[in-house]
């Protein structure tokens, strides 16, 4: 509480102070390395803090990776063994008699962050970004994790309508529905996590480990710190500032059927704007989609396409990206002009997208 009161900015959300608490846990884990019982107790406390939106999931996973590599500690909750599969192939996995059954392979917040499939997708995204300035990766999560992420975002959209407001055109906050037709909500990273549980649920959580389901806050953290960590590993050194070095929210946008799109613009419009990479994830359609909708996985029939125009004279590099479910897109924020086309009135669902902006290094990281 004292640290929060002395912070240089108002920490309006619990997760805004998460990095400070993560640093404290890191120091304590280092001090307890020679005492296994104390090490386990501190680590378990860190896991509980992450599950309440007080410490980043990615920070706990990073600490776990180091401790496991040193042979000091291992936790299947934080690092589910089945999540190491690069692709969701039920036949191959189930052929192993020692492998967990499908029911045992529960999709949780931890399994989302541990996904080897998503790590591979992020590496592919980074390669495309380096080569072309624009990258698109389909089936980034796989069916089960994609369904959980989509359900979390749609639930937030349906239950937290007061969190949404018209999308702004610039930093002045002005909006114009004809130029930008979406409504947006900013996700800090703790939305839906156990910090908001009732005291009865919290006591149950403390008595026994309850699997933490994927919530909108979990998805925001995943977009920021999990994708950010993978991109940092894959892109050239000093391209990006580590995402734990700044406080930033993910943006959930919703375009209703018949809504206008978003006029052409460049995200990073001035030298003082630190944004370097724009990342967009399109959630999957609900399981109740019709057979015709399932056949139209590209999403093109509903409109809402993202049009990308890299800043050069080569018109052939213009790309039109449909908001297909489980599609991950990235482009250079300061080099690619883009727009969102209007959503058709006949669209059955709102067009949802989750966006995050990764910042450039303060010196030496910008591309010419």
pLDDT in tens, 183-235: 999 999 999 996 545 445 545 544 455 678 999 999 999 999 999 999 999 99
For the beta sheet containing 275-282, the strands, ordered from the edge strand earlier in sequence to the opposite edge, are 134-137, 327-332, 275-282, 351-359, 250-255, 183-187, 165-166
Single out the residue in 60, 79, 98 at which a domain terminates: 79
C-beta atoms surrounding 44 within 10 Å: 14
Query: In this predicted structure, what is the pLDDT of residue 339?
Result: 96
Torsion, Cα 67 214 246 242, to 10 degrees, reads 50
Clarify whether residues 20 and 152 are in a common domain: no
Clarify whether residues 68 and 126 are in a common domain: no
Find the mean pLDDT for residues 253-257. Answer: 97
Domain-embedded: residue 322? yes
Clarify whether residues 48 and 148 are in a common domain: no
Clarify whether residues 290 and 213 are in a common domain: yes
Clarify whether residues 131 and 60 are in a common domain: no
Sign of the CA dihedral 48, 49, 51, 56? negative
Single out the residue in 21, 55, 79 at which a domain terminates: 79
Find the mean pLDDT for residues 140-160. Answer: 97
pLDDT digits (tens, 9 = 90+) for 106-125: 899 999 999 999 999 999 99
Residue 90 reports pLDDT greater than 50: no
Clarify whether residues 237 and 319 are in a common domain: yes
Pick the more confident residue, 323 or 361. Answer: 323
Q: Print the SS3 string covering the chain.
A: CHHHHHCCCCCCCHHHHHHHHHHHHHHHHHHCCCCHHHHHHHHHHHHHHHHCCCCCHHHHHHHHHHHHHCCCCCCCCCCCHHHHCCCCCHHHHHCCCCCCCCCCCCCCHHHHHHCHHHHHHHHHHHHHHHHHCEEEECCCCCHHHHHHHHHHHHHHHHHCHHHCEECCCCCCCCCCCCCECCEEEEECCCCCCHHHCCHHHHHHHHHCCCCCCCCHHHHHHHHHHHHHHHHHHHCCCCCECCHHHCCCCEEEEEECCCCCCEEEECCCCCCCCCEEEEEEEECCCCCCCCHHHHHCCCCHHHECCEEEEECCCCHHHCEEECCCCCEEEEEECCCEEEEECCECCCCCCCEEEEEEEEEECCCCCCCC
Could you tell me the residue range of the domain that residue 299 belongs to?
114-359
Residue 16 reports pLDDT greater than 50: yes
For 321, list phi and psi in degrees, rounded to 5: -110, 120
What does the alpha-carbon distance between residue 52 and residue 132 come to, in Å, rounded to a whole number?
A: 39
Domain-embedded: residue 90? no
Domain-embedded: residue 107? no
Clarify whether residues 120 and 75 are in a common domain: no
Roughly how many angstroms between the first and final C-alpha of the chain, as a whole number? 44
Domain-embedded: residue 193? yes
Clarify whether residues 177 and 308 are in a common domain: yes
Residue 250 reports pLDDT greater than 80: yes
Query: In this predicted structure, what is the pLDDT of residue 106?
Result: 85
Query: In this predicted structure, what is the pLDDT of residue 191?
Result: 96
CA distances from 2 to 7, 17, 22, 196, 298 (A): 9, 12, 16, 21, 51
Confidence class for position 364, pLDDT limits 50, 70, 90: very low
Clarify whether residues 189 and 318 are in a common domain: yes
Query: In this predicted structure, what is the pLDDT of residue 206?
Result: 47
Domain-embedded: residue 210? yes
**Range from 148-152, 315-319, 325-329 carrying the lowest mean pLDDT:** 315-319
pTM: 0.86
Domain-embedded: residue 89? no
What does pLDDT average to over the chain?
85
CATH code, 274: 2.60.120.620
Domain-embedded: residue 98? no
| Burial category of 283 from C-beta neighbours within 10 Å (exposed 0-12, middle 13-18, buried 19 and up) | buried
Query: In this predicted structure, what is the pLDDT of residue 195?
Result: 53
For 303, list phi and psi in degrees, rounded to 5: 80, -160
Query: In this predicted structure, what is the pLDDT of residue 212?
Result: 85
Confidence class for position 176, pLDDT limits 50, 70, 90: confident
Two tokens at 270? 């001035």
Clarify whether residues 69 and 165 are in a common domain: no
Clarify whether residues 237 and 322 are in a common domain: yes
Single out the residue in 79, 99, 122 at which a domain terminates: 79
Query: In this predicted structure, what is the pLDDT of residue 11?
Result: 57
Residue 22 reports pLDDT greater than 70: yes
Clarify whether residues 24 and 120 are in a common domain: no
Angle at 326 between CA 220 and CA 336, to 5 degrees: 75
Query: In this predicted structure, what is the pLDDT of residue 257?
Result: 96
Residue 5 reports pLDDT greater than 60: no
What does the alpha-carbon distance between residue 126 and residue 318 come to, in Å, rounded to a whole number?
A: 19
Two tokens at 182? 């979406």
C-beta atoms surrounding 123 within 10 Å: 16
Q: Which of 79, 19, 356 is nearest to 220 (CA)?
A: 356
Query: In this predicted structure, what is the pLDDT of residue 83?
Result: 78
Angle between helical axes of 227-234 and 116-132 (0-180°, round to 10): 50
pLDDT digits (tens, 9 = 90+) for 264-306: 999 987 888 899 999 999 999 876 554 455 545 555 579 999 9
Report the phi/psi class of residue 139: left, alpha or beta, with left for phi > 0 and alpha for psi in -120 to 50.
left
Pick the more confident residue, 203 or 311. Answer: 311
Q: Print the SS3 string covering 262-276.
A: EEEECCCCCCCCCEE
Domain-embedded: residue 87? no
Based on the structure, what is the number of domains in the chain? 2
């Amino acid at each position: 509480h004292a640290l929060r009161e002395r912070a240089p900015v108002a920490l309006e959300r619990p997760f805004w102070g998460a990095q400070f608490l993560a640093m404290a846990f890191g120091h304590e884990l280092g001090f307890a390395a020679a005492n296994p019982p104390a090490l386990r107790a501190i680590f378990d406390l860190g896991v509980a803090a992450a599950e309440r939106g007080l410490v980043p999931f990615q920070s706990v996973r990073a600490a776990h990776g180091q401790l496991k590599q040193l042979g000091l500690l291992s936790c299947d909750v934080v690092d589910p063994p089945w999540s190491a599969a690069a692709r969701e192939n039920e036949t191959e996995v189930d052929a192993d008699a020692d492998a967990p059954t499908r029911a045992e392979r529960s999709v949780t917040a931890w399994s989302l962050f541990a996904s080897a499939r998503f790590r591979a997708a992020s590496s592919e995204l980074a390669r495309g970004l380096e080569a072309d300035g624009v990258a698109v990766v389909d089936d980034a999560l796989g069916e089960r994790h994609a369904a959980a992420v989509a359900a979390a975002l749609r639930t937030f959209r349906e239950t937290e309508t007061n969190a949404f407001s018209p999308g702004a055109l610039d930093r002045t906050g002005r909006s114009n529905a004809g130029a930008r037709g979406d409504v947006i909500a900013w996700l800090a990273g703790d939305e839906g996590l156990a910090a908001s549980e009732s005291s009865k649920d919290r006591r149950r959580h403390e008595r026994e480990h309850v699997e933490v389901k994927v919530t909108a806050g979990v998805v925001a953290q995943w977009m920021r710190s999990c994708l950010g960590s993978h991109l940092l590993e894959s892109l050239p050194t000093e391209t990006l500032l580590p995402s734990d070095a700044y406080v930033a929210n993910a943006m959930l946008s919703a375009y209703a059927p018949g809504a206008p799109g978003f006029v052409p613009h460049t995200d990073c419009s001035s030298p003082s704007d630190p944004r370097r990479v724009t990342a967009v994830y399109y959630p999957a359609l609900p399981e109740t989609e019709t057979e015709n909708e399932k056949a139209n996985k590209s999403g093109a029939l509903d409109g809402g396409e993202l049009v990308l125009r890299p800043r050069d004279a080569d018109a052939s590099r213009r790309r039109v990206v449909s908001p297909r479910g489980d599609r991950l897109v990235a482009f250079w924020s300061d080099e690619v002009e883009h727009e969102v086309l209007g959503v058709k009135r006949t669209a059955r669902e709102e067009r949802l997208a989750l966006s995050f902006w990764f910042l450039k290094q303060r010196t030496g990281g910008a591309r010419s």
